[in-house]
Structure 1
Amino acid sequence: MSPSNPAVAPQLRQIIFYHLDNDLTQNALFVAGRLHALDPRNGDSIHLLALCHLRLGRMKAAYEYSRDRAVRGSHLGCSYVFAQACLALEQYSDGIMALERSRGQWAMRNHWNKHSDTSRRHVPDAAAVYALLGKLWKAHGDLKKAADFSAAALKANPFMWDAFEDLCASGVPLRSSNIFRMTPEMQSCLSALTISEDQNDSQQPATSQLSVSTPGNDPFNPVRTAGDPGLNHGGSGLLSRLNGMLPSANGNAPLSDWDTPTANSFANDEDIIMGDNSIGYSGNDPPQAPMRKTRTLQALLPDSDAPKMKLTTTGRGRVKDVNGSFESDITRPTTASNNHKRTVSGHIPASVSSNPDPAAAPQRRSARLFSQIRPSSSKSTTNVAKAAESTDKRELKKAKATGTKGRSTQVGRVVSGNRNHIQNMEPEKRELSRAPSIASVTSTLPKKTIQPHVDAGTEHEGLQWILDLFAKLGNGYYQLSRYQCQAALQAFASVSPQQRETPWVLSHIGKAYYERQQYAEAEEVFARIRKIAPALMEDMEVYSTVLWHLRKEMDLAYLSHELIDQDRLSPQSWCAIGNSFSLSRDHDQAVKCFKRATQLDPGFAYAFTLQGHEHVENEEFDKALYAYRCAISADHRHYNGWYGLGQVYEKLGKYDVAEKHYRSAYQINPTNPVLIGCIGTVLEKMRKPQAALVQYAHACDLDPKSAYARHAREKKARCLMNLRRPKDALAELEVLKDLAPDSANVHFMLGRVYKIVRDKTNAIRHFTIAMNLDPKAAPYVKEQMEVLDEDDDDYDDEDIM
């Protein structure tokens, strides 16, 4: 049987959010079960229960609980949880459908400045939904729609970094300076903040109080309306204060940083109902205490011509005006300027009476609230308060003379602060009236918890600094995603040293060095990351590959043991172990480790690529093809997978197919000289030396000092020899000799070129150097020296090494 007390459900919701905010998800799930049992059809209860299951990783349970409301599109919170569960369960179409059906509830929301230390939003806004839709469409395979939704998320909120990463991963051309800039909402808030500061400077400052909550209101679901200035107050964070000085709806002066705004009850706002697409009040909050409207200054003056409101009472104990609308108020834990001291429960103590005349009626609550909300030390304000007090006394005398009887009168008098009739109340209500209020406890907070006020200029400067930081980091990340490694390094170098020495920035700098084949520099950067954040697992597979290229077997084995001790379920750990086995020539064990990594994360494309490399070493080409195709399926822009496919087809003699896959990899990473050299090698084997020469020249121009550039220059010289251009080949080899003086193959090719141009002296000298550098190549060298006097018409001989 459901409890008769309507305050049970709001209290349960407060307990749930308390546990969620403190990462006590299991406790939150238990309490959410109690709340769901009270009202199984309530959308908020279903949302909280599904949310707890989602936080615990129970995707199937979150899917089942939120499905009914999500499919109908009647509750935004359920639709969002359902879509997240669908993303994890690979039910992408269902998640997209649920979010689209609830579009009317999130399309116009923008919460970028509504989250702070004291304000929350438990349902998503348009930017969050757009980002989730982008992920769903990407997983579904429609990359164009995924990019459109990610761009829409960034347009609504430029701080949606994951949407920016998704855009970079899709290969869409971007300009970070156009993305990370102030939106019209930010500019309007800053303008409103500047205007309100100018108004405050022209007025006399008033005493401010700390914003607190009352026990009758749910702090996570405050009863507010869309025009309530309270939606823009209450937070000490940057974004909350940006929207915190908007003018009030009634045209009065804006509230100060610590004022508690008066709220109107029963408005259909997102804070009352977490996402239910129903009209009116949800019925889960406790009934508000009977309150009276706060009067304006004109209404409190004795000679005011404002019409009097005729107040009636309903059977449910709420004050109702003649038009039938309910009114509420929020009790403020402040001390009035006229020495009206109150107890914890809000009553006037016997020792300090606010009425010197014992026969006079108690003061009206509206006058007390007015004196508390608008305190002032000026003489005019004191006169207004006295006039209002005398007016209230006359009105209360008239009301007392009418002899109103019944339950509604008792409730009204109890709420107004009188102690009469409290003994006749029910025990449960009496206990609630004796309980100390949250407002009274919060009012005792030390003064140091109040953040100092920051002016509009400082707010604008701080927000612009954050956007500039995002733009620099975004530019570096975008350039790295396009494999423009030099530009990425320059962008990361422009970041301040405090930001640059963080693990995220350092890991991307290390990956940029790795893509440039600068393995020594990459090792230094990753070693720094291990000192700063030894528990970091991201990008450690790249670090292990760097050590593999440097042939540091001991360091790689030590890194593997460290990673596996930290997290045995991390795919990066198993990739490091696999690289360690591969370096020791144990390819079978390496394949097992890479398979384990792909089992832990089926979307880890790099592990599939490493697995394919090991199959190639074992000459298991069918298995290698399958591994590379899995890598491409996990990430279509993973150029290593395309390169692996081209490598397999080249070994199988299918040069035309190999060229196609090499060119696919080149389109993704156009700055990698290895890919360009592979295209040239395949073209040369297909008897297309002119086309191959173009590729070799391009590879040499990308990075003339790199290790692979020397290899490409060597291939270029051989291609020139095949084209019977020995002088051009000799020029290339002379440059290459200075870059690699200890290469036996370079000296062997120089001997052949001098033999062609009939320079026997230099030919014999270079043949002799090649034989001394590589004694195993002596038979090939001697064969060329024996036919030194003959014409060398065979230009297609392979190198000696």
Structure 2
Amino acid sequence: MSPGHLQTTQTYAASQLRMLIYYNLDNNLHQNALFFAGRLHALEPQNPDAVHLLSLCHLRLGEARAAFDYSKEKAMKGGHLGCSYVFAQACLDLQRYSEGIAALEKSRKIWSSKNNFNKHSETSRRHLPDASVVYSTMGKLWRAQGDLKKAAECQAEALKLNPFMWDAFTGLCDTGVGPLLIQNVFKMTPQLASMYEAVPDENLLDMPTQNMPPYGGKASMMTPGNDPFNSAPVRTAGDPGLNHGGSNLLSRLNAPSSRTVEWETPGVGSEDMDEDIIMGEPSSNSSMTEPPQAPIRKSRVVTSSIQEQDIPRMRQITTRTKKTWSSEATDPSEPSRGLPLPTNHKRNISGHTAQSVASVNSDNSAPQRRSVRLFNQIRPSSSRSAAPVPSDSEARAKKDAKKPRIGIAQGRSTSTVGRVVSGNRKHEPIDRDYKEAPRHTGVLGNALSSHSRRPIQQNTKAGLQVEGLQWLLDLFKTIGIGYYELSRHQPHDALAAFDSIPIEQRDTPWVLAQRAKALYQQHNYVDAEEAFSRLRVMAPSRMQDMEIYSTVLWHLRKPTDLSYLAHVLIDDDRLAPEAWCALGNAFALEREHDRAVNCFARATQLNPRFAYAWTLQGLEHVENEEFNKAVHAYRSAITVDPRQFQGWYGLGQVFERSGKYLVAEKHYRKAAEINPTNPLLLVCVGSVLEKQKKNKSALEQYAAACNMDPRNRMTRQARFKKARVLQKLRQYDEALVELEILKEMTPKEPNVHFLLGKNYKLLGERQLALKHFTMAMDLDPKSSSYVKEHLDAVAEDEDYDFSDD
């Protein structure tokens, strides 16, 4: 074999290897894909596409280190987006965050103008990320590195480009930025709606934009100012909007569109940009080093109208055929997509065959051909005669004769309007209710180039697409409000939002888990347990949020249920940190604190970024009075997640027990700032203030806690402490009001009756004081000696100062 022929053969072999790699990736056969990617990389070791596919296969297999090593060289040069993106994801797994950010920044000129929204379907999709995906990944890298401001800015940019970038939204909520107007995130914009009007059936037709010829001389479907997402100039690392000098982080979500960018147009200066392809469709564009695809069969010379050139076949949504896209692409009866069709063959002047109106109406179940639908979109409605249109091939005519299809009335009003190149004619009745279109060089080209005609069918499809999009936006807005309020520790508002979701969406594991966590935040442990129990029935294999469920059972003091839950979770997945947290809570409930510490340490070993596991470990160290270890665990929790208020609370608790009241107050206040609806945190702030003899400041904290949820037991404790401080401030009448409220809420609480007795004594009500002291002694016999001392003082009418007790 000659060297030239061998090179050509290897070129076509590389094309087939790419097809095999995508085939196996699509079918989740990652080992197969990795094997073929290794063969491709051996054939083309310098091709960045081959490097990208090899590193991608390693990443899909969970081999982040191998993906990092293979993609590093190409990624750090910034010339191939796929390598940069895989490298960044590997850096996220390997905790090498700065390197991942640097790689994405170097390839900014490639991805800054890409937007693949509405270009993915069951049969075709892009295999390279667009700007919204890259921004979301950069946000994760910045957050992991500890820069929450830059993380929030990147996530806001991702949402600006694509309101359905859900992980960017949840990340933005979790960083604690605000206020965030959810209605401005999930809203229909004119630019978003115009996208469906421009191509009303893009997902259903699977029409790739890079394969579409420039009909009517248009290079893009979008017009200046019509870009639905990319409304800001291309940002660089020095842009103050993406750095600490930015003005308003979330204002960009509402900024008007101002940039004129084509969706598939590379950024300025991106001469070496790698071309994206459509997975599931043959690509007419290849990279600089990628050869053209090998022909599988000998092509026949065919003649076809331009309407058949770039319109893939549509399948029914609910069924699948055995034929794949590759077989359709190489069908000898169909012209190659993306290639210009020959126009110098013999044609006759007869039109396409057509069926009657009755036939069209009766065959609703059969899938309608795209060419038919596209022609119907521009079909006139006032004439019954039409000029002839260029003919189809003989192969297509024979193929269409074997299966029923909806015809297109394009020919003249004769009884024989079928035509083929060979001259063989097929006699079919025509549809006289259809008008004949004027003669064009391309029906689809005329449809896209004519701005004066708005077909009814196109408007209907575009309207339905927009209505479906609006329904999704409304649903995500409601869910988003619930998640946002939950992240701000506003459980009441979160529950209201989740309860307003349609019932079919509400009874799903994710929504049910969020409702359970909202009930847990309300300290409504009974209802939270019920919600988590339903979640376990609905999704028994779910591990996420099970650590919260175990904490709910710990609060309810249900050792049997908690032990069973931990046993089941450990059996399901011994490598899940949530399972070890549940087991640790089970040991903690049995007061086996050392074993609980070991379980929580195992959880943090499995996932060092699991902040809640660090918090639980700190609690057990406090129980063991190992305060230095507790401080380390709590500080690890707030390092991983600065919004982990339990970590700040735990540090305050340790410092308070160590007598460092000023430092404890600082940490308690930080926890209360993160979670402003938890009365326990305000009570803790008031407690350390009271110990510092700052009674008036402590009274303010207790009063604020009393205004929170009255069902919370900490609210009752706040009211008790408030009454005690009022007594210290000699405001006996105000203290009596608070104590009477407490007596109604907890009539059998001995401390309330004891404090009432003291207050009545200070008010000079001797009989009432004796009454409540006696009730306190009866309710708590263990404290009888202490209460009896005060009781005797009242009985002897001694001048005893009760206000300082």
CA separation of 1:370 and 1:469: change in aligned 2, threshold 3 A: farther
Q: Name the stretch that deviates more: 548-557 or 224-233.
A: 224-233
- Aligned 8 A contact 1:291 1:327 in 2: no
Q: Structure 1 residue 378: deviation in Å? A: 2.2
Q: How does 1:71-110 map to 2 (within 5 A)?
A: 71-110=76-115
1:191 aligned partner: 197
Q: How does 1:73-472 map to 2 (within 5 A)?
A: 73-173=78-178, 174-192=180-198, 224=211, 227=214, 269-271=275-277, 281-286=288-293, 328-329=339-340, 368-369=392-393, 376=409, 378-379=411-412, 455-472=461-478
2:261 aligned partner: none
CA separation of 1:633 and 1:688: change in aligned 2, threshold 3 A: same
Q: Structure 1 residue 20: deviation in Å? A: 0.7
Q: Distance in 1 between matches of 2:62 and 2:650?
A: 35
Q: Deviations over 1:39-83 (max 9, x none)?
A: 111111111100000000111110111111111111111111011
Q: Structure 1 residue 96: deviation in Å? A: 1.3
- Aligned 8 A contact 2:80 2:274 in 1: no
Q: Structure 1 residue 690: deviation in Å? A: 0.6
Q: Structure 1 residue 764: deviation in Å? A: 1.3
| 1:652 to 2:658 alignment | yes
Q: How does 1:714-733 map to 2 (within 5 A)?
A: 714-733=720-739
- Aligned 8 A contact 1:511 1:542 in 2: yes
Q: Distance in 2 between matches of 1:659 and 1:387?
A: 88
Q: Distance in 2 between matches of 1:511 and 1:387?
A: 67
Which of the numbers 784, 787, 790 marks the counterpart of 2:798?
790
- Aligned 8 A contact 1:295 1:370 in 2: no
Q: Distance in 2 between matches of 1:268 and 1:771?
A: 83
Alignment-mate amino acid for residue 110 of structure 1: N
Q: Distance in 1 between matches of 2:727 and 2:561?
A: 43
Which of the numbers 480, 491, 507 marks the counterpart of 1:501?
507
Alignment-mate amino acid for residue 530 of structure 1: R
CA separation of 1:372 and 1:104: change in aligned 2, threshold 3 A: farther
Q: Deviations over 1:242-299 (max 9, x none)?
A: xxxxxxxxxxxxxxxxxxxxxxxxx99532899x9x99753322366889897879xx
Q: Distance in 1 between matches of 2:136 and 2:414?
A: 52
Alignment-mate amino acid for residue 184 of structure 2: N
Q: Structure 1 residue 187: deviation in Å? A: 1.3
- Aligned 8 A contact 2:81 2:274 in 1: no
- Aligned 8 A contact 2:680 2:714 in 1: yes
| 1:516 to 2:522 alignment | yes
Q: Distance in 1 between matches of 2:338 and 2:597?
A: 71
| 1:17 to 2:22 alignment | yes
Which of the numbers 656, 668, 672 marks the counterpart of 2:678?
672
Which of the numbers 35, 38, 44 marks the counterpart of 1:33?
38
CA separation of 1:608 and 1:330: change in aligned 2, threshold 3 A: farther
Aligned pair count? 627
Which of the numbers 595, 599, 621 marks the counterpart of 2:605?
599
Indicate the SS of the match to 1:7: helix
Alignment-mate amino acid for residue 778 of structure 1: S
Q: Name the stretch that deviates more: 457-466 or 638-647.
A: 457-466
Q: Distance in 2 between matches of 1:616 and 1:85?
A: 37
Q: Deviations over 1:336-395 (max 9, x none)?
A: 99899xxxxxxxxxxxxxxxxxxxxxxxxx9645996996452279999989989xxxxx
| 1:558 to 2:564 alignment | yes
Alignment-mate amino acid for residue 188 of structure 1: S
Q: Structure 1 residue 103: deviation in Å? A: 1.4
CA separation of 1:211 and 1:779: change in aligned 2, threshold 3 A: closer
1:360 aligned partner: none
Alignment-mate amino acid for residue 588 of structure 1: D
TM-score (norm 2): 0.72
2:402 aligned partner: none
Which of the numbers 2, 8, 23 marks the counterpart of 2:13?
8
- Aligned 8 A contact 1:223 1:272 in 2: no
Which of the numbers 488, 491, 498 marks the counterpart of 1:482?
488
Which of the numbers 50, 57, 63 marks the counterpart of 1:58?
63
Q: Distance in 2 between matches of 1:507 and 1:211?
A: 37
Q: How does 1:608-623 map to 2 (within 5 A)?
A: 608-623=614-629
1:313 aligned partner: none
- Aligned 8 A contact 1:748 1:767 in 2: yes
Q: Distance in 2 between matches of 1:369 and 1:546?
A: 71
Q: Structure 1 residue 184: deviation in Å? A: 4.8
- Aligned 8 A contact 1:224 1:269 in 2: no
Q: Name the stretch that deviates more: 183-192 or 773-782.
A: 183-192
1:699 aligned partner: 705
CA separation of 1:3 and 1:624: change in aligned 2, threshold 3 A: same
Indicate the SS of the match to 2:211: coil
Which of the numbers 549, 570, 574 marks the counterpart of 1:543?
549
Q: Deviations over 1:178-228 (max 9, x none)?
A: 00123454211233357x99xxxxxxxxxxxx9899xxxxxxx99826858
Alignment-mate amino acid for residue 286 of structure 1: Q
CA separation of 1:153 and 1:339: change in aligned 2, threshold 3 A: closer
- Aligned 8 A contact 2:55 2:83 in 1: yes
Q: Distance in 2 between matches of 1:477 and 1:735?
A: 35
| 1:640 to 2:673 alignment | no
- Aligned 8 A contact 1:755 1:792 in 2: no
1:748 aligned partner: 754
CA separation of 1:686 and 1:50: change in aligned 2, threshold 3 A: same
| 1:626 to 2:613 alignment | no
- Aligned 8 A contact 1:25 1:52 in 2: yes
- Aligned 8 A contact 2:126 2:278 in 1: no
| 1:590 to 2:623 alignment | no
Q: Which runs of 5 or more residues in structure 2 are unaligned? A: 222-272, 307-336, 343-347, 354-389, 398-406, 424-457
CA separation of 1:784 and 1:187: change in aligned 2, threshold 3 A: same
| 1:67 to 2:72 alignment | yes
Q: Structure 1 residue 140: deviation in Å? A: 2.0
Q: Distance in 2 between matches of 1:702 and 1:339?
A: 75
CA separation of 1:575 and 1:701: change in aligned 2, threshold 3 A: same
Q: Structure 1 residue 706: deviation in Å? A: 2.0
**Largest Rg, 1 or 2:** 1
Q: Distance in 1 between matches of 2:472 and 2:690?
A: 52
Q: Structure 1 residue 15: deviation in Å? A: 1.1
Alignment-mate amino acid for residue 457 of structure 1: G
Q: Distance in 1 between matches of 2:695 and 2:143?
A: 41
Alignment-mate amino acid for residue 28 of structure 1: A
| 1:684 to 2:690 alignment | yes
Q: Structure 1 residue 581: deviation in Å? A: 0.7
- Aligned 8 A contact 1:106 1:126 in 2: yes
Q: Structure 1 residue 796: deviation in Å? A: 2.7
TM-score (norm 1): 0.73
- Aligned 8 A contact 2:197 2:459 in 1: no
Q: Deviations over 1:474-529 (max 9, x none)?
A: 00000010011111110101101111111111111111111111111111111110
Alignment-mate amino acid for residue 562 of structure 1: V
Q: Structure 1 residue 329: deviation in Å? A: 4.4
Indicate the SS of the match to 2:126: coil
Alignment-mate amino acid for residue 147 of structure 1: A
Q: Distance in 1 between matches of 2:740 and 2:789?
A: 23
